[in-house]
Amino acid sequence: MNTYGERFRVTTYGESHGPAVGAVIDGCPAGVRLDMDLIARQLERRRFGAPRQEADEVEWLSGLMDGITLGTPIAFAIRNKDVRSEDYAHLEHLFRPGHADYTYYAKFGVRDHRGGGRSSARETVVRVVAGAIASQLMPEVGISTRAVGSQNPADDDTCGGMVDCTITGLPAGIGDPVFAKLNASLAAAMMSIPSAIGFEMGAGFAAAQMKGSEYIDRWKVDDGGCRTATNHCGGVQGGISNGMPVEFRVAFHPVVSIPQPVECLGEDGSLSTVGIGGRHDRYHIERAAVVVEAMAALCLINYMI
Amino acid sequence: MNTYGERFRVTTYGESHGPAVGAVIDGCPAGVRLDMDLIARQLERRRFGAPRQEADEVEWLSGLMDGITLGTPIAFAIRNKDVRSEDYAHLEHLFRPGHADYTYYAKFGVRDHRGGGRSSARETVVRVVAGAIASQLMPEVGISTRAVGSQNPADDDTCGGMVDCTITGLPAGIGDPVFAKLNASLAAAMMSIPSAIGFEMGAGFAAAQMKGSEYIDRWKVDDGGCRTATNHCGGVQGGISNGMPVEFRVAFHPVVSIPQPVECLGEDGSLSTVGIGGRHDRYHIERAAVVVEAMAALCLINYMI
Amino acid sequence: MNTYGERFRVTTYGESHGPAVGAVIDGCPAGVRLDMDLIARQLERRRFGAPRQEADEVEWLSGLMDGITLGTPIAFAIRNKDVRSEDYAHLEHLFRPGHADYTYYAKFGVRDHRGGGRSSARETVVRVVAGAIASQLMPEVGISTRAVGSQNPADDDTCGGMVDCTITGLPAGIGDPVFAKLNASLAAAMMSIPSAIGFEMGAGFAAAQMKGSEYIDRWKVDDGGCRTATNHCGGVQGGISNGMPVEFRVAFHPVVSIPQPVECLGEDGSLSTVGIGGRHDRYHIERAAVVVEAMAALCLINYMI
Amino acid sequence: MNTYGERFRVTTYGESHGPAVGAVIDGCPAGVRLDMDLIARQLERRRFGAPRQEADEVEWLSGLMDGITLGTPIAFAIRNKDVRSEDYAHLEHLFRPGHADYTYYAKFGVRDHRGGGRSSARETVVRVVAGAIASQLMPEVGISTRAVGSQNPADDDTCGGMVDCTITGLPAGIGDPVFAKLNASLAAAMMSIPSAIGFEMGAGFAAAQMKGSEYIDRWKVDDGGCRTATNHCGGVQGGISNGMPVEFRVAFHPVVSIPQPVECLGEDGSLSTVGIGGRHDRYHIERAAVVVEAMAALCLINYMI
């Protein structure tokens, strides 16, 4: 299931070392002039500091005439150009620790060993394009992120970190009861990002240690309308926004492609120590933040159109 | 969207103070004798210590003949019997702090003020029935929970806590790439439970502070097959199970119906202090754990049939 | 898949001789006072002349407060009361010709032999309730039907017929390109009705013999706005309504439960001649027309909300 | 909604005069070597005699390694090369009679006037590729078509016709009760093809005039297993296949782009007579038959994987 969303449906495709990555966006309203600069800026932010240098040029295949959406599917492709598949030749029959090599093989019985294939963070470039289009459809909504809690990676190691996201301008009443709660959908959207390992709304895990009387967000009525004095719930109650900023945090584990040699598992069950090569980040949180913004936009737009 | 799942589809219904809560389960295989004792036991665990005493008797409306599934939709209803709607009469035009009263009103323009309506934890009784059916279809999979980190509630207050869940017996290869990652689906399932406010897989938020060389789960090959020495990833890599136990934690904020009087917001914008009455838990983690198990079963079954 | 619709989602349940038939309707807007008289009238029309006499009393289980929709799932049950399962005891191991006995058995390996189970036209009572609710949400749209082409059934036989349906008041622009064309969705909706065996829009099969110059609906501009002089296309072009009446015809094969004894196939492969008993229509087109109206409403509402 | 299918999901894109048409196929099993010759043959059959000459070269963007499916989305693009958009310049503000120009405009408020845009039969090339892949996954199933009932088009006119389709090798038990009946899904699939205007299973509209005793398909047990002496139902009972050949007929209205000048409607409400130009079939039934086969394959595969 490579489709995200029920109304603004983004179906993505592409392996990291195949011809291209891209998507078909179905459900985008007609008559919208796409802000290509916004898309380019987000792609630039995502690309910043990446060891693999891709131009990330978006080739538009359908759904636009003179840059304006037709209401039909918007298809695009981004070519994989800076591909060095030979870097991975020695890994054809090996499963790297910490990667998805083994699990893809267990599921599919076949895999693209060149880079991470479909599990590579390369696929997030597509999310960034789609998210930028979605955010353009909600000009009143502001989505901002901040990298927190990261360490400096040592020379021979990698590190993780966290991203705080704040969504402003969302009116009260956005979300759904029971299964499609806004917080549940945000959780799924964020946990689908490569390396994501934790998610919390508002006070999050700290709320588990609070007393009810501490936790409850008290009403505070003033000229600004109905608000609450605190925002422990993160702006969502019963799965529906309450008009306060929506606030959540995503934890990312460290980059699993570490510079040191590691022991890999062979398809034959043997272990062998190899340097896994390829070109990888050692610190990815600033770049992950851009993907957090994209997924937040894709999540929200499905409630709003 | 009150349906959970694409293959084992559970569509739930019911307000806490309406005639009944229940569900239609579509996609259950034919020819299965439902284990009514298992369902009753899980309902009993969920009910334990609840202030509102419901018999939670399940009335089966369709899909069964002589207790055996027909492959057609299984519909059931659980009557709301111990309903004291008069307890809520004074809240008809008030929004309690910390509840979903205001957000439902913002979304729907109308709400059932008697208890939480659709936002009440009463709806989770339906999840427990459906989850018990799902778990019966995966006899090789074990789902267990443990309440952690709770405090004793003071007399006049409530508390939250956390639930650790471990899933054993899941083979490698269960899950999906990109958007429908197993961890992403588990996150959505858990965050859809009333009061859930945080979710983490394996090492979770702590992983954000690790170095890559610490975080990576090293291969450990022995008679037990392919395993890893640690399980920081929580048994899922690239969205797909790796054969290790699937481990995650869910944080729940405290019960928001506190015994102390609280300031409520009126529909007219005024504030007034009232005791909100009704009958509510002060500690709900043991009961939430049963719902965590149910949602874990509902999440998994959709990848396995 | 017992759910109809993506936006106004009707999930039905129930066997003809089980406890009840019913549905959960998800996606109905909040704040609507249901017109219970309209529902009762359509049920009365559907019931008219049916050999099995059911009161068809609708028990509302959720989603309503004081008769007004809450925006939450509307669940209802209609009890099967006039059930004479003993009429079917002799058919427990037999497959009637023309029925779905054999195909259900082939698919599920188990079946409810009492009446048609899930394949019985009994399930259409649920469609009529849901359709009446849907039609109430589109007061500007008129859906009318007319039975055509039926013969009088002989005493010892049954007959089929056709239903013409006309939808007025539908604005231009309703429908979708490519797969979810309005005509394609109408076709699926109609062909899902028990006994339906053919569907055509506008000029239908006769159009296959026309020349293009005869077939094309010419523009006719007058005070009434943009219209066409003929309506061979049935009001839909490229899958989208053009503002003309939407016109289609549904063919129904004869009732397959004929009064004469028939040869049944045994589970052991033997053939035996039996009177199949039960209580069945011999002419069902007037009743089918009510279901055509219901399905037309359910089809349209999904494009309109 | 430009996606077809729940399990083998084909999301198509592309306007007739945009850069490309194509699709993303999600849900194709891993490890399958695609039969590129089969795809090419079906494309050749579809292209035969078409006035617009496209090479229809399929560019594979993802999901394959060395021609073998990876289990990940298969994306492809087919460039629109033989595009003469200037042929349509005079139609920018005109709605042709019989076309979808007006309805697209009514729905989207904007349209690609160059050719039919998304409503053009050009999009069916994508269905043919996807259908050929689907049919390859069901080698035991045979899908064949026959053009019937067509006239020879006069020099200055166009004609329609019908396609008979027979599916052999389908076991009993394929289909679903109630809404997702196999015949209902086939109806939707066929009626979604450009120019389709009627659909019937087995005896079809003629069955509406039969008596029940004539219509019922009697059992005929012999060495070949359970069969029926006639196949009036078209191989489907209660929405589920009975093991007999599945037989249906699709009626197509004549090509609406006729060689004669026609009166077009202007956006300003005026009428003007123009030759609509472009390059169009005058007889399209042989080519439609290839699309019928493709859609039959796409319909079936969703029940079979």
Measured between beta carbons, the chain A residues lying within 8 angstroms of D31 are: 108-110
Cβ count near A48 (within 10 Å): 10
Least confident of B94-103, B253-262, C223-232: C223-232
Measured between beta carbons, the chain D residues lying within 8 angstroms of B26 are: none
Q: What is the mean pLDDT of chain A?
A: 93
Q: Which candidate from A202, A251, A260 shows the least CB-CB separation from B207?
A: A251
Measured between beta carbons, the chain D residues lying within 8 angstroms of A19 are: 59-62
Q: Nearest chain C residue to D272 by CA: give it.
A: C219
Whether residue C114 has pLDDT greater than 90: no
Read off the pLDDT band of A53 (50, 70, 90).
confident
- Residue C254 confidence (pLDDT): 96
- Residue C236 confidence (pLDDT): 98
3-state secondary structure of C161: strand
Whether residue A278 has pLDDT greater than 70: no
Chains that touch A (3 or more CB pairs under 8 A): B, C, D
Measured between beta carbons, the chain C residues lying within 8 angstroms of A5 are: none
Residues 172-211 of D with CB under 8 A from B: 177
Pairwise pLDDT comparison (A48 vs C250), residue with the higher score: C250
Q: Which candidate from B6, B72, B177 shows the least CB-CB separation from D72?
A: B177
Please check whether residue A208 is in contact with residue B198, taking contact to mean a CB–CB distance below 8 angstroms.
yes
Q: C20 forms bridges with which residues in the sheet?
A: C79
Name the residue among D210, D7, A273, B14 with its Cα closest to residue C157: D210
- Residue B278 confidence (pLDDT): 67
| Residue A67 Cα, gap to closest chain B Cα (Å) | 28
Orientation of helix D124-136 relative to helix D36-47, angle to 10°? 140
Mutate to test the interface with D, among C107, C127, C265, C280 (most CBs of D within 10 A): C107
D221 inside 8 A of chain C by CB? yes
Q: In sequence order, which ranges of D57-178 are alpha helices (DSSP H)? A: 101-108, 124-136
Q: Which candidate from B12, B59, B110 shows the least CB-CB separation from C70?
A: B110
CB contact under 8 A, A262 and B216: yes
- Residue D40 confidence (pLDDT): 97
Measured between beta carbons, the chain C residues lying within 8 angstroms of D4 are: 179
Q: In sequence order, which ranges of chain D are alpha helices (DSSP H)? A: 36-47, 101-108, 124-136, 182-191, 212-215, 285-304
C2 inside 8 A of chain D by CB? yes
- Residue D240 confidence (pLDDT): 98
- Residue A224 confidence (pLDDT): 65
Read off the pLDDT band of A127 (50, 70, 90).
very high
| Residue B66 Cα, gap to closest chain A Cα (Å) | 31
- Residue B13 confidence (pLDDT): 98
Please check whether residue D288 is in contact with residue D199, taking contact to mean a CB–CB distance below 8 angstroms.
no
For A230-295, give the DSSP string: --TTTTEETTEE-SSPEEEEEEEPPPS--SS-EEEEETTS-EEEE---S---S--HHHHHHHHHHH
- Residue D224 confidence (pLDDT): 65
CB contact under 8 A, B77 and C77: yes
CA distances from C80 to C17, C76, C85, C122, C195 (A): 7, 13, 11, 9, 22
What digits encode the pLDDT tens for the residues D70-92?
999 999 999 998 777 777 788 88
| In chain D, % of residues over pLDDT 70 | 98
Q: In sequence order, which ranges of C192-274 are alpha helices (DSSP H)? A: 212-215
- Residue B37 confidence (pLDDT): 97
- Residue C88 confidence (pLDDT): 77
What digits encode the pLDDT tens for the residues A186-222?
999 999 999 999 999 999 999 999 999 999 999 998 7
- Residue B58 confidence (pLDDT): 97
| Residue C40 Cα, gap to closest chain D Cα (Å) | 23
| Residue D138 Cα, gap to closest chain C Cα (Å) | 18
Please state the rounded mean pLDDT for residues B17-34.
97
Read off the pLDDT band of C5 (50, 70, 90).
very high
What digits encode the pLDDT tens for the residues C125-172?
999 999 999 999 999 999 999 999 877 878 789 999 999 999 999 999
Residue corresponding to tokens 């019931």: C47
Name the strand (E) or helix (H) holding C182. Answer: helix C182-191
Residue corresponding to tokens 């952690």: B148
| Residue D58 Cα, gap to closest chain A Cα (Å) | 13
Mutate to test the interface with B, among A205, A223, A233, A264 (most CBs of B within 10 A): A205
Q: Which pair of tokens denotes residue D83?
A: 């595009």
A152 inside 8 A of chain B by CB? no
Q: Which candidate from A14, A111, A112 shows the least CB-CB separation from D75?
A: A14
Chains that touch B (3 or more CB pairs under 8 A): A, C, D
CB contact under 8 A, B72 and D177: yes
Name the residue among D205, D201, D189 with its Cα closest to residue D298: D189
CB contact under 8 A, D112 and A70: yes
Q: Which pair of tokens denotes residue C36?
A: 């219970």
Q: Please name the residues in contact with A289: beta carbons below 8 A apart, sequence gap of 6 or more.
A: A145, A146, A147, A163, A165
Please state the rounded mean pLDDT for residues D262-280.
86
C260 inside 8 A of chain B by CB? no
- Residue D278 confidence (pLDDT): 66
B236 inside 8 A of chain A by CB? yes
A245 inside 8 A of chain B by CB? no
Q: Nearest chain A residue to C72 by CA: give it.
A: A177
Burial A255-277 (b: 16+ CB within 10 A, else e): bbbbbeebbbbeeeeeeeeeebe
Residues 32-91 of A with CB under 8 A from B: none
CB contact under 8 A, C64 and B18: yes
CA distances from D73 to A289, B177, C16, C242, D197 (A): 26, 10, 42, 36, 33
Q: D21 forms bridges with which residues in the sheet?
A: D78
Q: Which pair of tokens denotes residue D301?
A: 């595969």
- Residue C278 confidence (pLDDT): 67
Please check whether residue A147 is in contact with residue A160, taking contact to mean a CB–CB distance below 8 angstroms.
no
Q: Which candidate from A6, A72, A177 shows the least CB-CB separation from C177?
A: A72
What digits encode the pLDDT tens for the residues B112-163?
777 788 999 999 999 999 999 999 999 999 999 999 987 787 878 999 999 9
Please state the rounded mean pLDDT for residues B23-32.
98
- Residue B112 confidence (pLDDT): 78
Half-sphere exposure (CA, 13 Å, Cβ side) for C220?
A: 11
**Is 0.95 surpassed by the pTM of this model?**
yes
Q: Which candidate from D3, D60, D72 shows the least CB-CB separation from A26?
A: D3
Cα–Cα–Cα angle for A247, A249, A251, nearest 5°?
Answer: 170
- Residue A164 confidence (pLDDT): 98
What digits encode the pLDDT tens for the residues C187-222?
999 999 999 999 999 999 999 999 999 999 999 987
Q: Which pair of tokens denotes residue D10?
A: 């084909």
CB contact under 8 A, C71 and B108: yes
Please check whether residue D28 is in contact with residue D125, taking contact to mean a CB–CB distance below 8 angstroms.
no
Measured between beta carbons, the chain A residues lying within 8 angstroms of D83 are: none
Please check whether residue C87 is in contact with residue C278, taking contact to mean a CB–CB distance below 8 angstroms.
yes
Half-sphere exposure (CA, 13 Å, Cβ side) for C90?
A: 9
Measured between beta carbons, the chain B residues lying within 8 angstroms of A25 are: none
For B187-209, give the DSSP string: HHHHHTSTTEEEEEETTGGGGGG
Please state the rounded mean pLDDT for residues A87-100.
88
Read off the pLDDT band of D115 (50, 70, 90).
confident
Residues 159-178 of C with CB under 8 A from A: 177
d(CA C58, CA C75): 10
| Residue B2 Cα, gap to closest chain C Cα (Å) | 7
Please state the rounded mean pLDDT for residues C66-80.
96
d(CA A224, CA A242): 13
Read off the pLDDT band of D152 (50, 70, 90).
confident
| Residue A66 Cα, gap to closest chain B Cα (Å) | 31
d(CA B126, CA B24): 10
d(CA C286, CA C20): 24
Residues 104-123 of D with CB under 8 A from C: 104, 106-107, 116, 118-119, 123
